Structure 1
């Protein structure tokens, strides 16, 4: 079997999602970092792997997979145990919906390139840009709070870690960085805390990655 190579960046929440899934499935992988702050992800060599110039990308043999949710789905199909999606169709759709709120509704509005555009092109102050991003994070997290209140158990959906948790933990990390009050979301906060305590999730934390900034 070919080695798995994860192209990412320590503080990228999308890379964080994939690290969690790889760890939960107990897969070994090598990391290659692309510092988003200096634009390393736009280098032509990396764009040959990931044409959009975004992280993460996961290389496996002759293949390069992009987009974190697609990577999570591939990992689930190729290494189905432990499962990150429920077996029944309806619960699987609910978990995918939770993950999509995080990946499609929230994250695109609070990543680095959006923040840079708000500040550089629209000339918003740092404070105004952060307030704009925090607003949309709060809106999405409120929707997820309602779903976790209905479907959650120990974790975001039921009592097993799922793809929803792989996406939730990094988004809460982002929200906390921008000063979003997570205590408003009781069920979401409790599910996140329990997920963070799992050794595989804890090991994926940005601060523990080889390319993390010195403390």
Structure 2
């Protein structure tokens, strides 16, 4: 019996975009619920006490953290694998995702900056976030696209999704184009199925 999936998401959420991209690429039916900024601090706390998106509701259970949600989706819907073939390739994919998730995304998170740099204006925060992402992406570059234009190995994976999503986030913050990552994003969009599954396609 097909499980009913409900995804609590928010426009502009980098973490939510990752999960949506995976669900759409795998063509998994789900109901998407947009969580407003006001709800994040009020009614949504009854669903996810942490107060952030994404959150996936499955048969009365709620799953949080984008990587954990994606791993669940991979295990439950194994068709069109997005996590790599061999054990070494899967480790490489997870390594990229972990770097993006923990080393790039978390330090520039709006909540983190609000706590540690409350004196910054919104514009200054945007500039700092873009600069941080660009610096980290430049460090990551040498680990990507060694075997093909895809991030890891020769097939589309969640490593591509994590990398492309965080690059787009930096561009939204005003970061200048990074040729390597721009080329990677355009390569992904040359594949009709990948582009069709990409949430909130931007001109970047």
Question: Do these two structures clear the TM 0.5 threshold for a shared fold by scoring above it?
Answer: yes
| CA deviation after TM superposition for structure 1 residue 169, in Å | 2.0
Tell me how far apart the structure 2 counterparts of residues 75 and 201 of structure 1 sit (CA, whole Å): 20
Tell me how far apart the structure 1 counterparts of residues 85 and 66 of structure 2 sit (CA, whole Å): 21
Tell me how far apart the structure 1 counterparts of residues 103 and 195 of structure 2 sit (CA, whole Å): 23
Aligned partner of 1:68 among 66, 69, 72: 66
Tell me how far apart the structure 2 counterparts of residues 89 and 57 of structure 1 sit (CA, whole Å): 28
**Contact 2:41-2:51 within 8 A present in 1 as well:** yes
**Contact 2:188-2:194 within 8 A present in 1 as well:** no
Tell me how far apart the structure 2 counterparts of residues 125 and 9 of structure 1 sit (CA, whole Å): 23
Local SS of the residue matching 1:105: helix
Query: After the TM superposition, which residues 71-150 of structure 1 pair with which residues of structure 2 at under 5 Å, given as runs?
Result: 71-117=69-115, 122-149=118-145
Tell me how far apart the structure 1 counterparts of residues 118 and 172 of structure 2 sit (CA, whole Å): 22
Give unpaired runs (5+ residues) of structure 2. Answer: none
Distance 1:159 1:190, change over 3 A: farther
User: Which residue in the other structure is 2:26 paired with?
Assistant: 25
Local SS of the residue matching 1:91: helix
Give unpaired runs (5+ residues) of structure 1. Answer: 209-215
Is residue 41 from structure 1 mapped to residue 40 from structure 2 by the alignment? yes
Is residue 179 from structure 1 mapped to residue 180 from structure 2 by the alignment? no
Which runs of at least 4 in structure 1 moved beyond 3 Å after TM superposition?
114-118, 196-204
Tell me how far apart the structure 1 counterparts of residues 195 and 70 of structure 2 sit (CA, whole Å): 15
Distance 1:30 1:129, change over 3 A: same
RMSD: 2.1
Q: Provide TM-score, normalisation by structure 1.
A: 0.84
User: Which residue in the other structure is 1:211 paired with?
Assistant: none
**Contact 1:18-1:166 within 8 A present in 2 as well:** no
| CA deviation after TM superposition for structure 1 residue 122, in Å | 2.2
Aligned partner of 1:195 among 165, 188, 192: 188
**Contact 1:14-1:68 within 8 A present in 2 as well:** yes
Total equivalences in the alignment:
200
Q: Provide TM-score, normalisation by structure 2.
A: 0.88
